[in-house]
Chains A and B, each alone.
Chain A
Amino acid sequence: MAGAADLLGPKADRAFGLKLVAPAMIILIVLLALPTLLTLVYSLHDVPASGSSFGPFVGLENFTIIFSSPVFWRSAQVTLTFSVGFVILSTVIGLAMAMLLNQRFIGRGLARALLIIPWATPWLVIGILWKWFADGSVGGLNAVLMMLGLTSDYHPFLSDPNTALPITVLAAVWRQASFAGILLLAGLQTLPEELNEAAQLDGANWWQRFSNITLPWLRPVLITVTVFNVIYAFLQFDVVFAMTQGGPGDTTQVLSILIYRQLFVNTNIGLGSALAVILGVVALIGGLTIVRLFYRREMH
């Protein structure tokens, strides 16, 4: 086994490597590490609306205010509901699409190109598109439901507190399922055909092949996809902003919308930053939990 020093190569090479990386490193420290640190500092202060100074140090008071606020807990609950629906549906629909597009059929190339379109569409545009698609007076969704005879009249999906959140989830899933589908399809294409054929000869049915060959093969891709889905779920802003701005009432007010309101509508930088810290920590824990969950199951 080579020691770390051998792997690193001669000193001149190391210096050259550092020189190449230095610009990126400096930019990321200034633009990422510094603002992250500042946000942490802001969260411990009562920052004036102008943001020109930190203002008085208040310790954990911002966090105390947040944790005792029903608005925060309501928003956390909405975020959780949104995220669970988003992650499960994106992954499952993405997997279904990937498995379908891995079959042989006429027009497969075209279908695979179609899969890319939702992914290439900006999140905000998806929000705008679905806001109108689900609209209560000119929407296409209502038209289809009516033509199919499922409903007799148009339903205002986004102003109904019961349907607003499910429709925003569906809109976000429309995009993210495509992303999951693209990655999972690439994973499926590396699955050796012989594995399935051998299992088929042994008399394994479709479900047995799916659960014993396909799923285990896809596990690393599924981990990647799920972690991305979790992160996008917690950070979703554009779709909700375009569709409902958090309404009706607070039924779709996810944490990112709440942060936006605190920072730029109420201009409460301290409170907004504390919320941002909470969201960041939750996203981090969410991502790490998924990774651990998958690996633990792998060990058994």
Chain B
Amino acid sequence: MASSAFERGRRRSLATSVAIYLGVLVFAIWILLPVWYLVVSSLITPSQLGVKPFPLVPSSVTLDNYAAVLFGNTGGKGIGSTDMGTRLVPTIGQSLLVSSILVVLNLFIAGAAAYGLSRYPFRGARAFELSVIATRIVPAIAIIGPFFVAFRVIGVLNTPWALVISYNVFTLPLAIMILKNYFDQLPREIEEAAKIDGATRLQTLWIIIVPIARPGLVAAGVLIFLEAWSEFFYALVLTNQLTVPPLLAGFQSVQQFNWNALAAATVMSMLPPTVLVLIFQRHVVGALTAGVGK
């Protein structure tokens, strides 16, 4: 493998190589320039920010903006008299709470459903599966009205439950699709062996399938977490800045809250999903692209 790859690399002309590395340079700039701008903004002072052109390579850096959004150390650093600086950490906690509850709930419910669809098809199973796929097209924005009204009636507006309930609209179909795909690819022989050994269907699922299916469950879990962590519209409408995205949008509309501090808060909000995805990169890309190119 390695030697044939090497030979192919050799066969490339110099011009092609130059073109490829130029392409890589353009690619890196396309991805990194906005991210670099964000990170630099979070590490400089408002007066450095005011310089034209923007200092892409700043002469000095400071962690004051992070101190401001993490500990509320506003001490005249331009955040003004609002208490918003102290709200980021508790909000990150609430986002983690909502996302984690959803991951656990959905893995159980979607895992059971996907396994049932894959191994014990019943009359209407195929129709159910197709309608699950079709839900990806139903715009979440289009059905917000009934949620808002119903949640006000039962009194869960502004609570984490409003999100834990409503997020199922997109996380549950996603998890079912990924896990169904995953179970379809698992060999059936092990289950048949377990059956011969006298294990019940439920024992087989819990003791044998769940451990084998761990990579698929991890991938589905990460994707559910990402969706829940990133969701903005429902959180904006159904709660009062309970999770990170609506809080950031709120920061942005407060005049005294400058871009340096907002950039620090934005970096903090990007860290959990980015780290999670980079750790589980192979799992996640595998689940996302399962069935692609077949």
Contact = CB atoms under 8 A, between A and B. Distances in A.
A187 B293 contact: yes
Interface stretch (A17-25, A56-64, A65-73, A292-300): A17-25
Contacts, number: 291
Interface of A is mostly: helix
A7 B248 CA distance: 52
Interface hub of A100, A129, A147, A264 (most chain B Cβ within 10 A): A129
B281 A113 contact: yes
Interface in B118-139: 119-123, 125, 128, 131-132, 135-139
B243 to A, nearest CB: 10
Interface stretch (B65-73, B76-84, B212-220, B271-279): B271-279
A77 to B, nearest CB: 19
Interface stretch (A80-88, A120-128, A156-164): A120-128
A215 to B, nearest CB: 13
Given A100-B27, A142-B53, A276-B143, A21 B34 contact: no
Given A124-B230, A132-B263, A36 B138 contact: yes
Given A36-B138, A117-B31, A124-B245, A138 B49 contact: yes
B139 A235 contact: yes
A252 interface: no
A28 interface: yes
Interface string B247-276: 011001000000100110010011001101
B141 A256 contact: yes
Contact of B269 (A125, A147, A174, A190): A125
B53 A143 contact: yes
A257 B119 CA distance: 43
Given A13-B120, A237-B141, A142 B54 contact: yes
Given A100-B27, A132-B41, A140-B54, A238 B259 contact: no
Contacts of A16: 116, 120, 201
Interface residues of A, number: 102
Contacts of B259: 132, 135, 138
B207 interface: no
B257 to A, nearest CB: 12
B232 A238 contact: yes
A153 to B, nearest CB: 8
B38 interface: yes
B247 to A, nearest CB: 10
Contacts of B54: 138-140, 142-143
B145 interface: yes
B245 A238 contact: yes
B193 interface: no
A78 interface: no
B20 A123 contact: no
Contact of A129 (B23, B24, B125, B266): B266
Contacts of B116: 16-21
B147 A97 contact: no
A149 to B, nearest CB: 11
Among A34, A103, A187, A224, the one with the most B-chain Cβ atoms within 10 Å of its Cβ is: A103
10 contacts: A14-B121, A16-B120, A18-B116, A18-B120, A42-B146, A124-B248, A128-B249, A132-B38, A235-B139, A238-B233
Interface of A: 7-9, 13-21, 23-25, 27-28, 31-32, 34-36, 38-39, 42, 51-52, 97, 100-101, 103-105, 107, 111, 113-125, 128-133, 135, 137-140, 142-144, 146-147, 154, 174, 178, 182-183, 186-187, 189-191, 193, 217-218, 220-221, 224, 231, 234-235, 237-238, 241-242, 256, 259-260, 263-264, 269, 272-273, 276-277, 279-280, 283-284, 287
Interface of B: 5, 8-9, 12, 17, 20-21, 23-24, 27-28, 30-38, 40-41, 49-50, 52-54, 56, 109-110, 112-113, 115-117, 119-123, 125, 128, 131-132, 135-149, 152-153, 165-166, 168-169, 172-173, 176, 201, 226, 229-233, 237, 245, 248-249, 252, 259, 262-263, 266, 269-270, 273-274, 276-278, 281, 284-285, 288-289, 292-294
Given A8-B123, A124-B230, A125-B270, 17 more contacts: A20-B116, A20-B120, A21-B117, A24-B172, A32-B138, A35-B147, A51-B152, A100-B24, A104-B8, A121-B274, A128-B249, A132-B38, A142-B53, A186-B288, A238-B233, A256-B141, A280-B139
